């Protein structure tokens, strides 16, 4: 065996063991998706905005570090800042995981740091917008780092022809947990008076409970997933050990990816269109509450509808991929995303029914477009570099998705209109569609040295 050769056992255990690991792997989506749903999508945006507005001056600005920021833009800027932090950390974590062959301890550390920060949001009250901003940055960056490690397990626990299905089931598990916890959140928030709680206290309990859920269910994948032997060249590269500069490792990863230009082309397309998806997800509650003047109960119900339909959407798009291929299915979903944004721009205020229809459309395409992108990318990675390449992928998934929230925040900062902010995101889907359409995915899989599935 040469130094660059990896034994097949490192990537495919016997069927029973592989199924056991897959079931454990699904549960990290089950654990952390509650943060994405309850915290990032529903509660934290409007609540942090209200906290910032309480601390704002007469002109509606807060001044973190002496910088004037419109209170309504603070949440979007904080999301962007969290992603910048993640960009610095993720390449280092990905390289250490590949070289040391120790994904689980790093997954545990990042997951529990994020869960602790989320639980700490219980103390976000009064005018503590700086505390809220700090906890958001820590939690969101930790989630991004943990997803590098989580995604890197996919090519090791699933054979090439089953990855679309396994990835889609993971997303379905996540949406199931998101829906379950949102039901509990809705009961608590809607009946907060009967529980002897103020509205703010109910929101803070919902935020903190997401952190407790995240931490508790992370125990399942930590028990079932197993670490693989490090790749032979993992002892070092160019004299570097496992610990080095995050930016230096990013440069090394991108330099290595230049040997696989088709993989890099896919990553660029994904970076752009997923930036749009992530921004829609994170800013939807702000748009609904501030521009469409919908109450919190309506927003919770709409996101619950998204979660329920996203389970069916993720599984349904997984089946479509088996017939039409992942690439064509993703392209179809991007066309639907563009129509969703156009419809959102014209959505009338104080019209919950129209908002529910829009939420239904989002649910049907959201999970599938992300799940199929993840499984498609897993085919484009050279063996032995899963965590390293997925660190670059995660920058696209949650890592480099700083541009969308920044554009959204700037559009509102300059125009004072959330409608202008939401329609500005169309460019991400249009450009991403064009770039993805140009990627010859079968040649890209072969160039990475991987077997080509029957449908891709």
- The DSSP-derived string for 359-425 is HHHHHHHHHHHHHHHHHHHHTTSPTT-HHHHHHHHHIIIIISTTHHHHHHHHHHHHHS-HHHHHHTT
Q: What is the DSSP letter of 32?
A: H
The Cα–Cα gap between 374 and 360 comes to 23
Q: Which residues contact 293 (CB under 8 A, 6 or more apart)?
A: 349, 350
The Cα–Cα gap between 161 and 158 comes to 8
Q: What is the pLDDT of residue 387?
A: 67
Banded pLDDT at 363 (limits 50, 70, 90)? confident
Q: What is the pLDDT of residue 244?
A: 46
Please list the residues that pair with 61 across neighbouring strands: 70
| Placement of tokens 């990816």 in the chain | 257
Higher pLDDT, 331 or 102: 331
The Cα–Cα gap between 277 and 82 comes to 17
Q: Which residues of 53-70 are buried (b: 16+ CB within 10 A; e: fewer)?
A: bebbeeeebbebeeeebb
Lowest mean pLDDT among 3-12, 31-40, 108-117, 447-456: 3-12
Q: What is the pLDDT of residue 17?
A: 81
The Cα–Cα gap between 62 and 81 comes to 16
Apex CA 138: angle with CA 275 and CA 85, to 5°? 55
Q: What is the largest CA-CA distance in the chain?
A: 70
CB of 164 closer than 8 Å to CB of 317: no
Instruction: Kindly state the percentage of the chain with pLDDT values over 70.
Output: 88
Residue 350 pLDDT > 90: no
The phi and psi torsions of 449 (rounded to 5 degrees) equal 80, 25
Lowest mean pLDDT among 207-216, 290-299, 427-436: 290-299
Apex CA 286: angle with CA 284 and CA 289, to 5°? 105
Instruction: Kindly state the percentage of the chain with pLDDT values over 90.
Output: 30
Q: What is the pLDDT of residue 160?
A: 76
The phi and psi torsions of 196 (rounded to 5 degrees) equal 75, 30
Average pLDDT over residues 300-322: 83
pTM for this predicted structure:
0.71
Nearest to 276 by CA among 328, 210, 344: 344
Find how far residue 201's CA is from the centre of its chain.
Answer: 27
Q: What is the pLDDT of residue 219?
A: 96
- The mean of the pLDDT values for the chain is 83
Residue 317 pLDDT > 50: yes
Full DSSP string of 87-140: HHHHHHHHHHHHHH--HHHHHHHHHHHHHHHHHGGGG--TT-HHHHHHHHHHHH
The Cα–Cα gap between 329 and 334 comes to 9
259: left (phi over 0), alpha (psi -120 to 50) or beta: alpha
Lowest mean pLDDT among 109-113, 284-288, 430-434: 284-288
The Cα–Cα gap between 173 and 5 comes to 34
Q: Is the dihedral of CA 119, 123, 128, 131 positive or negative?
A: negative
Lowest mean pLDDT among 128-142, 218-232, 419-433: 218-232
| Placement of tokens 């990553």 in the chain | 267
Residue 65 pLDDT > 70: yes
Q: Is the dihedral of CA 381, 83, 43, 346 positive or negative?
A: negative
7-11, 160-164, 212-216, 412-416 — most confident range: 212-216
Average pLDDT over residues 355-365: 89
């Amino acid at each position: 065996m040469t130094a660059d050769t990896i034994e097949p056992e490192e990537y495919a255990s016997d069927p029973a063991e592989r199924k056991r690991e897959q079931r454990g792997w699904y549960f990290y989506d089950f654990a952390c998706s509650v943060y994405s749903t309850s915290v990032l999508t529903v509660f934290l945006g409007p609540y942090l905005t209200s906290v910032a507005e309480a601390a704002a001056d007469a002109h509606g600005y807060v001044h973190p570090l002496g910088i004037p920021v419109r209170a309504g833009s603070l949440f979007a800027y904080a999301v962007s800042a969290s992603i910048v932090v993640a960009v610095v950390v993720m390449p280092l974590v990905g390289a250490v995981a590949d070289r040391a062959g120790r994904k689980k301890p790093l997954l545990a550390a990042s997951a529990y740091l994020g869960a602790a920060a989320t639980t700490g949001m219980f103390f976000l009250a009064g005018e503590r917008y700086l505390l809220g901003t700090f906890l958001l940055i820590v939690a969101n960056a930790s989630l991004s780092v943990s997803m590098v490690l989580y995604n890197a397990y996919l090519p090791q626990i699933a054979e090439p022809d089953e990855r679309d299905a396994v990835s889609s089931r993971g997303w379905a598990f996540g949406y199931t947990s998101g829906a379950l916890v949102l039901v509990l959140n809705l009961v608590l928030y809607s009946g907060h008076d009967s529980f002897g709680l103020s509205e703010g206290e109910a929101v803070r309990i919902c935020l903190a409970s997401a952190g407790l859920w995240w931490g508790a269910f992370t125990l399942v994948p930590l028990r079932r997933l197993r670490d693989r032997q490090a790749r032979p060249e993992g002892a070092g590269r160019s004299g570097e050990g496992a610990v080095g500069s995050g930016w230096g490792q990013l440069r090394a990863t991108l330099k290595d990816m230049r040997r696989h230009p088709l993989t890099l082309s896919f990553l660029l397309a994904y970076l752009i269109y997923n930036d749009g998806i992530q921004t829609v997800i994170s800013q939807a509650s702000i748009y609904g509450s501030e521009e469409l003047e919908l109450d919190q109960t309506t927003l919770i119900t709409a996101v619950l509808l998204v979660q329920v339909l996203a389970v069916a959407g993720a599984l349904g798009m997984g089946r479509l991929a088996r017939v039409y291929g992942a690439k064509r299915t993703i392209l179809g979903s991007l066309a639907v995303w563009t129509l969703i944004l156009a419809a959102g721009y014209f959505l009338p205020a104080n019209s919950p029914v129209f908002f529910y229809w829009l939420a239904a459309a989002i649910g049907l395409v959201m999970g599938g477009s992300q799940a199929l992108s993840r499984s498609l990318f897993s085919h484009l990675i050279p063996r032995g570099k899963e965590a390293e390449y997925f660190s670059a992928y995660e920058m696209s998934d949650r890592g480099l998705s700083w541009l969308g929230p920044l554009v959204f925040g700037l559009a509102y900062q300059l125009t004072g209109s959330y409608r202008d902010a939401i329609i500005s995101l169309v460019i991400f889907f249009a450009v991403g569609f064009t770039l993805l359409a140009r990627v010859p995915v079968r040649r890209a899989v072969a160039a990475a040295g991987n077997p080509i599935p029957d449908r891709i």
